[in-house]
Chains A and B, each alone.
Chain A
Amino acid sequence: MFISGFGYILGETFKGLYRNRWMCITSTGVVAVTLLMLGLFMLVNLNVSHITETVKEQVEIVVYIDEDADQATLNQLRDKLGSHDQVSEVDYVSSDEHMSRLQRQLGGMLEGYDTNLENPLLASYEVRTVVPEAVVSLAEEFEEYPGVSAVFYGQGYVENLFALTNVVQVIGLGLMVGLSITAVFLISHTIRLTVMMRKREITIMKYVGATNWFIRWPFILEGLLMGFVGSIVPIAILYYVYEAVIEWAVMSELVFISLLPLEMVIIELAIYLVPLGTALGILGSTFSMGRFLRV
């Protein structure tokens, strides 16, 4: 017959899930689809920010030194750059170094160029900033320094990169919020139906003196289970999808795209999606219970 207390609550949870199995499967499926979209976007977002971070780290300001500047001005310039609180690193690159880099980059194209002739390239300081976003304003500042002939930081390209990163983050946040609200709504709707089917039972429970928590627990556990399963399924799907994507990237020799490793991404997804799904399930069931407990 019956088992009492905690056993009863667990029993009721599974009975409730079984009695409304189609509704539960439907709403678990909806949660899974919602979280799948969310996870898919997170996957893209994680990789986009990984790529942009990598690129950002390479962003630097090249300060070309005026040929005609005297040694004192140059020393002053070096000290000013080195002691600036926004600057993390300053490297001096001589005009000879520039030349050999150019030769490396262009390969054989410079062959025959007589290196004994006067080197037309300017010496420079390569400056790395503490925050990549500070590049634009710092570059403007450095241009005014005495002994500087020109400043280069990938004008235009850098601004676009930062703007893109921001847009991706804003869209991601918007999607997360929107999809989460949808999931709460759907779960609470499902639980509300199961609550309504058991309204008579709940009324009786109230009359014989059951506490609200005793009534609530089976429904909360139902929501929790639906949310949990609804988050595990998309993670499993995304695991195989991402595995395939990585394989494809390797096969296509898309070496210039540095994708994040599979395990790391899936763990990251699980850290977000499992608590989120479970919380959504609990939230959804709590939402739909409130009204029925005010007897």
Chain B
Amino acid sequence: MVEAKNMCMKYEKGKHNALENISFSIGRAEFVFFVGSSGAGKSTLLRLIIREVKPNEGTLKVFGRDVARLPRHRLPYLRRNIGMVFQDFRLMEERSVYDNVAFAMIVIGSSRKEIRRRVPHVLSLVGLKDKAKSKITDLSGGEQQRVGLARAIANRPAMIIADEPTGNLDQGTALDIMNLLRSINLRGTTVLVATHNREIVERFKKRVLYLDNGKLVGDEQKGIYTNVH
């Protein structure tokens, strides 16, 4: 699904590398944590995968295609296969839960019929069946992130990328969200999570890629956060 080879990334010329000589490979239906302190390069890595930025050196293949060589007009089609979940949820606050999820389907041109069938389904998957008509601002943080998750899976992506999805949530709610991500993963979707929530990483015992100062310093199956630090 994702294959990086000797990848380097610099935001500006002359500055130090945001990522240095990174190589790894992630297969279908894997669940992977990216951990490291702020500025270690987790977000940069995720931004590279959705081709918000391009690597300066090395190659990055997503779904078998070299993203650096992907022409601009093909980007939307790459992103339709990746569901994004953000720390700050990035929802349209003045609109309803239903509209927020439907929006993701409208912009890729799904039919009305399909939207009417799919949206209630994904809302029930994340446990928000009864809140379809609620406004985003009337929801708790945990509920808002569930909407974010519902939106991410609405178009049946092959991969979910979550950048600090639990960063703004208390521990209990964070666990709920992670459990949802795990159940999504169990249905065959690849899930990549950038986090520095130690407890969650230790509890879930999934593959962990450790980043430190732009370098990949560890890659362990059933990793424990404390192995490196």
**Chain A contacts to B: CB under 8 angstroms:** 1-5, 8, 200-201, 203-212, 214-215, 295
Contacts and interface: CB of A to CB of B under 8 A. Distances in A.
Contact of B106 (A2, A203, A207): A2
B109 A4 contact: yes
Contacts of B210: none
Contacts of B115: 2, 4
Given A208-B80, A209-B108, A2 B103 contact: yes
Given A1-B99, A207-B50, A201 B109 contact: no
Interface residues of B, number: 30
B186 interface: no
Interface in B2-53: 50, 52
Interface centre among A203, A204, A206, A207 (most CB of B within 10 A): A207
A107 B90 CA distance: 91
B88 to A, nearest CB: 10
Contacts of A295: 52
A209 B111 contact: no
A4 B79 contact: no
B106 A5 contact: yes
B84 A207 contact: yes
A203 B106 CA distance: 15
B201 interface: no
Closest 5 CB pairs of A and B: A209-B80, A210-B107, A209-B79, A208-B104, A209-B76
Residue with the greatest number of chain A CB neighbours at <10 A, chosen from B78, B103, B115:
B103
B76 A210 contact: yes
B53 to A, nearest CB: 10
Contacts of A203: 90
A292 B73 CA distance: 15
Given A2-B102, A209-B155, A212-B73, 10 more contacts: A1-B102, A2-B106, A2-B115, A4-B110, A207-B50, A207-B79, A208-B155, A209-B107, A209-B108, A214-B109
A77 to B, nearest CB: 73
